Amino acid sequence: MRKKTTRYGKTRAAGDCRAFRELASSAVDGEIHELEAYSLERHLRSCPCCREFRDFVLRTGLLVRQSPPPPLARRPVEGRVLARAAGGRDRSWWKSRRLLGVAAGSLAAGILLGSALGLRVGGEGVAAPAELPLPRVTAARTLDPSYVPYLSRPLAVAWDAGVIRPGTADEKRLFWVTPMSRYDEAHYRPERL
């Protein structure tokens, strides 16, 4: 069996066998026409190399399906949290911020401040300035996952370690570097920390 180099830089079976191996791959998935199946069967009877490939594909497919991922470390996101995201027009995040007295005195001022900071309210949410670095993590301890379930782990750890303090510039940066690149009350609930 000849080999050739592809654009992926890997050697691959050349000529007829290549076509039959591609067919064998589709056949394993049940994605093959009857006529193709017939000619494939004929080829497989006389070609141990392609038979081996077919068997390998069957075997590895089985192994892949049977490998469980590691168990979840956290509870999946809850319906009540998603419900708020689904509502979309619920601005309770802003309301709770106002109640906490951390945000600007009025929603209008809040939006004004938001736009000054490059935030957009509604629609696509907050665009993340790419150049902002991650907050520096100086200590780590376990964070109750129900508190900030949507932050990436370094951020959650940074928050937990007190590196990111509520009501500071660090906190604003936090929004911009979350994996969501946007935020709402659903994945940022400072009042619970």
Kindly indicate which of the ranges 40-48, 110-118, 132-140, 148-156 contains the residues binding Zn ion, using the contact rule CB under 5 A: 40-48
Q: Distance between CA atoms of 66 and 62, rounded to whole angstroms?
A: 6
Which is it for the CA torsion 89, 93, 96, 98, positive or negative? negative
Q: Which of Zn ion, another protein, none binds 25 (CB below 5-8 Å, type-dependent)?
A: another protein
Long-range own/partner contacts, residues 22-30 (CB < 8 A, 24 or more apart): 24/50, 24/53, 24/54, 24/57, 25/53, 25/57, 27/54, 28/54, 28/57, 28/58, 28/61
Closest separation between CB of residue 16 and Zn ion, Å?
7
Q: For the chain, how far is it from start to end, CA to CA, in angstroms?
A: 64
Smallest separation, CB 39 to another protein (Å)? 16
Query: Quick one: what does residue 31 bind among Zn ion, another protein, none, with the CB cut-off 5 to 8 Å set by partner type?
Result: another protein
Which tokens hold the place of 94?
């802003």
Q: Is 87 in the site for another protein (CB under 8 A)?
A: yes
Please state the closest distance from residue 180 (CB atom) to another protein, in A. Answer: 6
Amino acid at site 143:
L
By CB under 5 A, is residue 119 in contact with Zn ion? no
Six token digits for residue 113: 């401040």
Does residue number 10 form part of the binding site for another protein (CB under 8 A)?
yes
For Zn ion, the binding residue among 23, 24, 50, 148 (CB under 5 A) is 50
- The single residue among 5, 38, 42, 77 that binds another protein, judged by CB under 8 A, is 77
Considering only residues 131-190, where is the footprint of another protein by CB under 8 A? 149-153, 179-180, 186-187
What is the DSSP code string of 101-133?
T-S-SSHHHHHHHHHHTT---STT-----TTPP
Residue 179's binding partner among Zn ion, another protein, none (Cβ under 5 to 8 angstroms by kind) is another protein
Binding of another protein by 191 (CB under 8 A): no
User: How buried is residue 4: exposed, middle or buried, by Cβ count under 10 Å (0-12/13-18/19+)?
Assistant: exposed
List residues near another protein by CB under 8 A: 6, 8, 10-13, 21-22, 25-26, 29, 31, 53, 56-57, 60-61, 63-70, 72-74, 76-88, 149-153, 179-180, 186-187
